[in-house]
Structure 1
Amino acid sequence: MERKTNVKLVTISVFVATFMTAIEGTIISTAMPTIVGSLHGMEIMNWVFSIYLLTNAMLTPIYGKLADKIGRKPIFLTGIIIFIIGSSLCGLAQNMLTLIIARAIQGVGAGAIMPVALTILADIYSIDKRAKILGLNSAAWGVASIFGPLVGGFIVDTVGWHWIFFINVPIGLVLMGLIAYFLVEPKREKSNAPMDVLGSIQLMLVLLTLLLGFQLIGDVGFDLSVLLCLGASVVFFIVFVFVEKRAQDPVIDLNLFKNSTFVIVNLVATLISGFLMGVEVYIPMWMQGVLGKSAAIGGLVLAPMSVIWMVGSFVASHLMEKMVTKMVVAIGLGITFIGSAFLVLVPAAASFVWFFAISAVLGIGFGITITTTTVRAQSSVEPAKLGVATSFNTLVKTIGQTLMVSIFGVVINSVTSAELAKSSLTVDPDVMNQLVNPHTANTIPANLLEPLRGMLYSGLHMVYLIGIFLVAAAFILNMVVKENRKGEVSDGNC
C-alpha cells in the first residue's frame, strides 16, 4: 500500500517550525543585554538582529524556486539543518563578531523554513481550509511574542544565555525526523533546464544592497554609503531583469508580474507589513517614553494584537467562503484603517488602557489582511509556481518591514531633533534615548519630562500619519483588481 502524508503530524511539525523561527527574534531581545555584557561589543549589537533578517531575506526566493524544482521536503530539511548548525555556532560564540557570523548562518536556514512551511500547508490543504490553518500557524507568532521574553529571561537566569540557541538543536532534530517520515511528496518530473545560478546571484545582490542600504539609513541617515548601496541595487536589478529574460528556467518567472492579482496583492502585503513595524516598534516606545510605563507594559499592550490576529485569520476563512477575496481584504484593511486612525487621533495623555483596545482592533485587521493576501497570492498562480509565489510573498513582507522601520526611524529622529532645536531647553543630545528607556528616564529632571514627552509624541504622531496613508494606499490598490467568485482574475489584467 502506498504511503500518504500524515496531514495532522506534518501540520503540527510546520507549526513547531514556525514557532522555532518566530521565537528566535523575541527570545534574543530579552537575552541581548546579558549577551552584550558577556561578549562586549555594544556598538555592533544591532547587527545581531540585522544580519539574521538580511540573510533570511536574500535566500527566501531562491529556496522558493528550489522547492518548486526539486520538492518541498529536501529544501525544508536543508533549511532546518542549516538553522541547527547556525544555532549551535551561536551558542558556542565567544565574541560578538563570531555571534554575528553565526546569526548570518542561522538566517540562511530560516530563509527556507518559513516560506516552504507555508508552501507545504498550501499543498496539503485546499483553499477553503487554508485560511483557518494559516490562522493557527500565525498563532505561533503570537505565542512567541508573549512567551519569548519570559522563556528568554528564565533561560538566561538559570542555565545561561548560550542555551537560548542550543535549545533549537533537539527541536530541529525532532522536526527533521517528523517531516522526513510523515511528509510524502509525489514524484516530480526531472527538468532538463539548468538551475538559474546567474539569476540567483543577481537577485541576492539586489536584495543584499537594497536591504543593507535601508539598514544603514536607520544607523547613519542618508549618507554616501546609503546612496551607493541603493544605486548598486538599481544596477543589479536591471542586470537581473536582463538575465531572467534569457534564462531557461528563471529563479523568478517575470511572467508572474503580468498577473495583476499577484502584483497588487503583494504590494498590499508590502504596505501593511511596513505599517505593522510602526505598530510593533513604536507603541512600546509610546508606553515607555510618553506615558512613562515599564518595558513590561510596553510589550503587554501588544498582546491583544498577537492573540486576536488568530481570530482575524478564522474570520478571513469564514468570509472567503461567502465573498470574493478582494472584498475580504477590503474588510481587513478597513478595520486596520480604523486602528491606525485611533493611533493618529489619540492624545498624548490617553491612558495606556486605550492601547489594549487599539491593539485588539489592529490584531483582527492584520489577521484578516495578511492571511487573505497570503492565500490570494498562492491561488493566483498555477500549482507549479506555488513555491516561488509563496516565497515572494514572504520576501516582500520582509522588504516592507525593513524599508518602513528605517523610514520611521528617520522621521521620528528628524521630528524630535527639530522640536529640540526650536525649544529653549538645554539638554544632552542623547536625552531622547534616555527618555524612552525606563531605567534612565527617572534621571531626567522633572521640569524637562513633560516638554520632552510632548516632542516624542509629535514624532510618534508623524509616524502614524504616515502609517494611515500606507493603509489607505493599500485599500485603494486592493480595489483595482477585478476577480470572479473564486478570487481569480478573469482576464489576468486590471
Structure 2
Amino acid sequence: MERKTNVKLVTISVFVATFMTAIEGTIVSTAMPTIVGSLQGMEIMNWVFSIYLLTNAMLTPIYGKLADKIGRKPIFIIGIIIFIIGSSLCGLAQNMITLIIARAIQGVGAGAIMPVALTIIGDIYSLDKRAKILGLNSAAWGIASIFGPLAGGFIVDTVGWHWIFFINVPIGIVLLVMISRFLVEPKREKSKVPMDIMGSLLLMTVLLTLLLGFQLIGDGGFDLKVILCLLLSLGLFILFMYVERRAEDPVIDLKLFKNSTFVIVNIVAALISGFLMGVEVYIPMWMQGVLGKNAAIGGLILAPMSLLWMVGSFLASNLMEKNTTRKVLMIGLSITLLGAAGLAFASSTATFVWFLVISSILGIGFGITITTTTVTAQSSVDSSRMGVATSFNTLVRTIGQTLMVAVFGVILTSVTTNKMAASPLPLDTDVMNKLVNPHTANTIAAKLLVPLRTILYEGLHSVYFVGMLIVLLALILNLFFKRKSN
C-alpha cells in the first residue's frame, strides 16, 4: 500500500520546527545582556544577531528554489542538521568571535527551516484552512516565549549561558525523526533545466554585501568600507537582474514583481519584521538595564506578545474571509502602531505592568500583520512557485530585521556614547556593559547607577521613536497603494 503523508504528525513537526526556532530567539535575547557582560562585547553585540540573520538571508531564496525543484523534505532535513551543528558549536563557544562564527552556521541551517516549514503548510492545507493552521503554529512561539525566558534565565543564573544553545539539539533530533518518517512527497520528475547557479551565487553575494554594509554602519558609522559594500551590492544586483532575465529557470522569477499585491505585502512584512527585531532585542535590555530586573524577568516580558500573536493570527484568518488584504493589514498595522507609540513615549519610570500591556498589544498587531502577509504572498502565486514565494517572504522579513538591527544599533550607540562623553562623571562603554549585565550591575558605584540608567533610557527611547516611524511608514504605504492592492 502506498504511504501517505500523516498530516497531523507533519503539522506537529512543523510546530516543533517553529518552536525550535522560537526558543532559540527567546533564550538568546534573554541571555544576551549576560553574554555581552561576560565576553565584554557590547560594541559588537549586534553581530551575534546580525550574522545569524545574514547567513539566514543569503541561503533562504536558494533553499526555496531547491524546495520547489527537488522537494521540501530533503531541504528541510538538511537545514535541521546544519542548525543542530551550529547550535552545538554556539554552546561550546568560549569567546565572542567563536560565538559569532557558530551563529553564522546556525543561520545557514535556519535559512531552510522556517520557509520550508511554511511551504509544507501551504502544501498540505487548503487556503481557507491555512491561516488557522498558521495561528496554531504561532502557539509554538507562545510556548517558547514562556519556556524560553524562564529556562534561559534559570540556565544563565545556574550553569551558565553556554548551555542555552544545547537545548536545540534534542529538539532537532526529534524533528528529524518525525519529518523523515511521516512526510511523504510525490516523486518529482527530474528537471532537464539546469539550476541557476550563476544567479544563485550572484544573489547570495548581493545579499552578503548589502547586509554587511549596513552592519558596518552599525559598527563604525558611514565610512569608505560601507560605501564600497553598498556600491558593490548595487553593481552585483544589476548583473543579477541581467542574468535572471536570461536564465531558463531563474532562482527568483522576476514576473512575481509584476503582481502589486505580492510586492506590497512583502514590503510591509519587511518593515514590521524590522520593528519586531527592535522589540525582541531591546525590551529585555530595558528591563535589565533601566529597571534593574533579572534575566528571567527581562525575557518573560515578551511572553504576552508571543501568546497573543496566536490570537492575532486567528483574527487574521477570520478577517481575511470577509475583507480585502488592504483592510486586514490596516487593522493589524493600526494595532501595532498603538503598541509602538506606547514604547516610544514610555517614561523612564514606566513599570513592568506597562510593558506587559504594550507586549500584549504588539502581539495581536504582529499576529494579524505577519499572518496576513504570509498567506497573501503564498496565495498570490501558483503552487509550482510556492516555495520561491514563501522563501522570498521569509527573505524580506530577514532583510528587514538585519537592516533595522544595524540602524537601531547605530542609534543606541550614538546616543549613549555622546551622552557619556558629555557627562562629568567617569562613564564609558565598559561600565555600560556592566549595567546591562544583571550579574555585574550591582558592582557599579551608586553615584553612577542613576546617570547610567538615564543615558541607557534615552538611547532606548530614541530606538523606539524610530521604530514607531517604521510602523507608521508601513501603514501609510498600505494606504498609498489602496487602489492597486486587493
Q: Calculate the TM-score normalised by the size of structure 1.
A: 0.88
Instruction: Name the CA distance, whole Å, in 1 between partners of 2:389 and 2:383.
Output: 10
Distance 1:73 1:349 in 2: 50
Closer/same/farther in 2, CA of residues 13 and 327 from structure 1, 3 Å limit? same
Alpha-carbon distance, 1:271 to partner: 0.7
> 1:492 corresponds to which residue?
none
In the other structure, the counterpart of 2:475 is 475
How far off is 1:10 after superposition? 0.3
Of 186-195 and 379-388, the range deviating more from structure 2: 186-195
| Aligned mates of 2:351, 2:301 — CA distance in 1 | 11
Change (3 A) 1:177 1:421: closer
Higher mean C-alpha displacement, 171-180 vs 13-22: 171-180
Correspondence for 2:198: 198
Question: Closer, same or farther in 2 for the Cα pair 1:45/1:417, shift >3 Å?
Answer: closer
Q: What is residue 303 of structure 1 aligned with on the other side?
A: 303
For residue 46 of structure 1, report the CA deviation from its aligned partner. Answer: 6.0
> Partner of 2:243 in structure 1?
243
Asked whether the equivalents of residues 33 and 436 of structure 2 are also in contact (C-alpha less than 8 Å), the reply is no
Distance 2:95 2:344 in 1: 43
Equivalent position of 1:429 in the other structure:
428
1:284 aligns with 2:281: no
Q: What's the CA shift for 1:292?
A: 3.5
Please state whether the residue corresponding to 1:188 is helix, strand or coil: coil
Query: 2: CA distance between counterparts of 1:97 and 1:468?
Result: 33
Q: Which ranges of structure 1 fall in alignment gaps of 5 or more residues?
A: 490-494
Distance 2:284 2:196 in 1: 44
Partner of 1:377: 377
| Contact 2:118 2:390 survives alignment (8 Å) | yes
| Distance (Å, rounded) in 1 between the aligned partners of 2:193 and 2:462 | 51
| Residue-by-residue CA offset, 1:450-475 (whole Å, 9 max, x unaligned) | 45444433333322222222111111
The answer on whether the counterparts of 1:340 and 1:464 sit within 8 Å (CA) in structure 2 is: yes
**TM superposition shift of 1:251:** 0.3
Deviation for aligned residue 1:351: 2.2
Q: Distance in 1 between matches of 2:33 and 2:415?
A: 28
Whether the aligned pair in 1 keeps the contact of 2:408 and 2:463 (CA below 8 Å) is yes
Consecutive unaligned residues in structure 2, runs of 5 or more? none
Number of aligned residues: 484
Name 2:406's counterpart in structure 1: 406
**Partner letter of residue 428 of structure 1?**
L
Spell out, residue by residue over 1:192-227, the C-alpha distance to the aligned partner (whole angstroms, 9 max, x if none): 211000000001111111222222222223233222
Query: 1:96/1:455 Cα in 2 relative to 1: closer, same or farther (>3 Å)?
Result: closer
User: Cα distance, 1:476 vs. partner?
Assistant: 1.8
The aligned amino acid for 2:184 is: V
Q: Which amino acid aligns with 1:360?
A: S
> For residue 126 of structure 2, what is the amino acid of its counterpart?
S
Assess if the C-alpha contact under 8 Å between 1:79 and 1:111 holds in 2: yes
**Bigger mean CA deviation after superposition, 224-233 or 262-271:** 224-233
Letter in 1 for 2:311: V
**Match in the other structure for 1:220:** 220
CA distance in 2: counterparts of 1:92 and 1:194, whole angstroms: 40
| Distance verdict in 2 for CA 1:461–1:9, change over 3 Å | same
Post-superposition offset of 1:183: 1.6
Aligned twin of 1:16: 16
**Contact in 2 for aligned 1:212/1:229 (Cα 8 Å):** yes
What letter corresponds to residue 252 of structure 1 in structure 2?
I
8 Å contact from structure 1 (residues 261, 481) kept in 2: no
Which residue of structure 2 lines up, in the alignment, with residue 352 of structure 1?
352
Residue pairs, 1:445-460, within 5 angstroms: 445-460=445-460
- 1:270 Cα deviation (Å)? 0.7
Structure 1 equivalent of residue 257 of structure 2: 257
Deviates more, 1:152-161 or 1:181-190: 152-161
* AA matched with 2:74: P
Residue 420 of structure 2 contacts residue 427 of structure 2 at CA under 8 Å; is this kept in 1? no
* Map 1:41-190 → 2, pairs under 5 A: 47-90=47-90, 100-152=100-152, 164-165=164-165, 167-190=167-190
Structure 1 position 326 matched with structure 2 position 326: yes
> How many Å separate the matches in 1 of 2:188 and 2:181?
18
1:246 maps to a residue whose letter is: R
Displacement after TM superposition at 1:343 (Å): 2.0
For 1:180, the aligned partner's letter is: S
Deviates more, 1:125-134 or 1:457-466: 457-466
**Bigger mean CA offset, 88-97 vs 6-15:** 88-97
What is the SS of the residue equivalent to 2:18? helix
CA contact (8 A) 1:128 1:320 kept: no
Segment of structure 1 superposing worse, 305-314 or 166-175: 166-175
Letter of the 2:209 partner, please give it: T
Determine helix, strand or coil for the equivalent of 1:321: helix
Residue 322 of structure 2 aligns to a residue whose secondary structure is: coil
Deviation at 1:375, TM superposition (A): 0.6
Partner of 1:395, secondary structure, is: helix
CA distance in 2, matches of 1:349, 1:399: 34
Aligned residue type for 2:110: A
- What TM-score do the two structures reach when normalised by structure 2? 0.89
- Aligned-residue offset at 1:447: 4.9
User: Is the 2:33–2:438 contact (alpha carbons within 8 Å) kept by the matching residues of 1?
Assistant: no
1:439 Cα deviation (Å)? 4.2
Give the secondary-structure state (helix, strand or coil) at the position aligned to 1:348.
coil
Q: CA deviation at 1:449?
A: 4.5
Please tell me the residue identity of whatever aligns with 2:464.
Answer: Y
Amino acid paired to 1:426: L
Distance 1:162 1:61, change over 3 A: same
Task: Give the C-alpha shift of residue 89 in structure 1.
Answer: 4.9
Structure 1 stretch displaced more, 469-478 or 166-175: 166-175
| Conservation of the 8 A alpha-carbon contact between 1:290 and 1:457 | yes
Query: Which amino acid counterpart does residue 356 of structure 1 have in structure 2?
Result: L
Say whether the 8 Å CA contact 1:79–1:112 is kept in structure 2.
yes
- Give the whole-Å Cα distance in 2 for the aligned partners of 1:297 and 1:149: 7
CA offset digits 1:289-331 (Å, max 9, x no partner) = 3334333333222221111111111111121122122211110
Letter paired with 1:380 = S
Higher deviation after alignment, 226-235 or 391-400: 226-235
Q: 1: CA distance between counterparts of 2:379 and 2:337?
A: 26
Which is worse superposed, 279-288 or 462-471?
279-288
Residue-by-residue CA offset, 1:339-383 (whole Å, 9 max, x unaligned) = 112223333223221111111111111111111111111111121
- Within 1, Cα distance between the matches of 2:36 and 2:460? 29
